Chain A
């Protein structure tokens, strides 16, 4: 192996210098907690006392016999399946429209993006008001439903909230993707007589596939981890219809003093997200030339 020159060594040192600090932070605040979670998932620990009993896989076996765990897993998957496709399509659609030369374009772009940069506490509070029994939604449509206390609609309301906030966020990603599509393709299509709708399906959708993949991956991870909207809007209720895995982890760790058990549930959630991403990676990854 040839000896690196002084210049190369300096470059390596500089590289380490740039990498060192973030690595340290990530190691301390990301990798260490992940490893530690795995470690304590084998213990019976309430966090408050020093007594930490090693119980092997008992937390996991208990977890799988808790009907609420299965319910929250089901809710999490349902939520993800409901939110990801709609938010991705809506984001793409919004981006497509916002990429046209229409009047007040920058206003609309800002308007669609604002929910994404607004705190989830604020948007959740807004949705509570909108979907309450005497709220705007019921008044507009002449309904009498209390969306958030009805077990059949509570999850839908929270899904709507998330779709509304994140589609604006992903719209920006799609906009960037759209702007890299050469205009000549659209010109050629127009000459051949393609309608706007045809242009959308035949040019835009295939051309932004790499962005779509990115949005799907991020959207999926985000949906699996949904917490703050649940925490504020429904606290898992009514009748556990909105208890998701991350909320289940939170209540077990910090309300029921079962930290080891909560860690086990968090590990299961991580495995779930990881496997879902693997599936995506295998079947949906765009081919890179």
Chain B
């Protein structure tokens, strides 16, 4: 019997050990860096730059721990369980929440170092990670919306330049929308637009409107906002443009790559697709057509440190290197990322590159699209747009509904 009891205890202890061994043990001696990794190439690239850093600053003991999926959820859980990495990638879209929750380390005093030259960064990018004057993230790369156009289709239609303004955008798009097989439905569209608030905001900013005004009140019922939205929706409703789902595509880049349309508004993420999957498309890029003023939307990511980190000094050394001339150069040279520093773009001659120049110039008048509303605003905005596109509401009706929903306070 005693034999059995011993055995039983043994099993119990083992099972407890087994059960808890799944819990993450974090090495507190190392400075940990985490980011998403969309592919092995990107992971290798980052590891390479970090190896350079290690040669330069061997005293900093760090570990690179890429997170393969559900990045935002994972970081959120890690912050909540006090196991967050000491340096992590922060998406511009989620930055307002993290800044509001006060979980990030303010970086002003680190960045004040004169050798760091914070003024070298494109201001629009810094703004994504600022709350008031406090900086919570150092931009690592960026992607502004630009206009991709199919040169062959433009040539065929006798058009010599990409559209410069809203009027031309509509006219050109109509001209290149055509039914080639005579079944009464267009087989080629001039333009494919996404029914998303980000893309619409580029037009809203161009028209002098805003989703949320400086004083925090909503601007979605203002004339400037509604006019831009109505223009955008009219392009779809009058058949001058279409949306990806009408062409059974997941996104507008797919429509562009499969030559179903002559123009799309997209950004850097489309380029590798065009080079690998759709390399028979003869494409060019141009700045977005201009409304009342130049404007576009920029997407950017940053390096940030949690307030709780015990390796802030080393953490900053990593950020400092990764966003330095050397660190950025090796990433930019090998990949497709655009450097957040003007000087790096200049030194690498990117302003002479016909494609990259357009992106860099767009950064000068780009804006990030963020609000200070509770996170649910984004889904509510998407619902409002779905009302327009899939439920036949007018832009005004949808925005009135959205306005009511946000003002009701239920989002809090």
Instruction: List residues of chain A with CB under 8 Å of any chain B CB.
Output: 6, 9-10, 13-14, 16-17, 20-21, 24-25, 28, 46-49, 62, 65-68, 129, 132-135, 146, 148-151, 236-240, 251-252, 254-257
Given contacts A151-B390, A238-B390, A256-B375, contact A13 B4 (CB under 8 A): yes
A17 touches B11 (CB 8 A): yes
Q: Which of B1-42 contact A (CB under 8 A)?
A: 1, 4-5, 7-8, 11-12, 15-16, 19
9 further A-B pairs in the complex, CB-CB below 8 A; given A17-B8, A146-B246: A10-B1, A24-B15, A24-B16, A47-B80, A132-B245, A133-B248, A151-B391, A237-B382, A254-B72
The 9 sampled A-B contact pairs (Cβ below 8 Å) are A9-B1, A28-B19, A48-B76, A133-B246, A146-B246, A252-B376, A257-B76, A257-B97, A257-B375
Shortest Cβ gap from B98 to chain A (Å): 7
Interface residue B73 (Cβ < 8 Å from any Cβ of A): yes
Q: How many residue pairs bridge A and B at CB < 8 Å?
A: 101
A240 touches B383 (CB 8 A): yes
Secondary structure of the B side of the interface? helix
Shortest Cβ gap from A106 to chain B (Å): 36
Q: A151 contacts which chain B residues (CB < 8 A)?
A: 386, 390-391
A146 CA to B391 CA, complexed, in Å: 12
A256 touches B4 (CB 8 A): no
A66 CA to B15 CA, complexed, in Å: 44
Q: A252 contacts which chain B residues (CB < 8 A)?
A: 376
Q: B12 contacts which chain A residues (CB < 8 A)?
A: 20
Q: Which of B250-278 contact A (CB under 8 A)?
A: none
Identify A13's interface contact among B8, B102, B387, CB under 8 A. B8
Q: A9 contacts which chain B residues (CB < 8 A)?
A: 1
Given contacts A24-B19, A133-B245, A255-B375, contact A47 B77 (CB under 8 A): yes
Given contacts A13-B8, A49-B103, contact A239 B1 (CB under 8 A): no
Shortest Cβ gap from A117 to chain B (Å): 23
A65 CA to B410 CA, complexed, in Å: 8
A240 CA to B245 CA, complexed, in Å: 17
A33 CA to B16 CA, complexed, in Å: 18
A146 CA to B248 CA, complexed, in Å: 9
A151 CA to B390 CA, complexed, in Å: 7
Residue of B nearest to A65 (CB): B410
B386 touches A239 (CB 8 A): yes
Given contacts A133-B245, A149-B390, A251-B379, contact A49 B15 (CB under 8 A): no
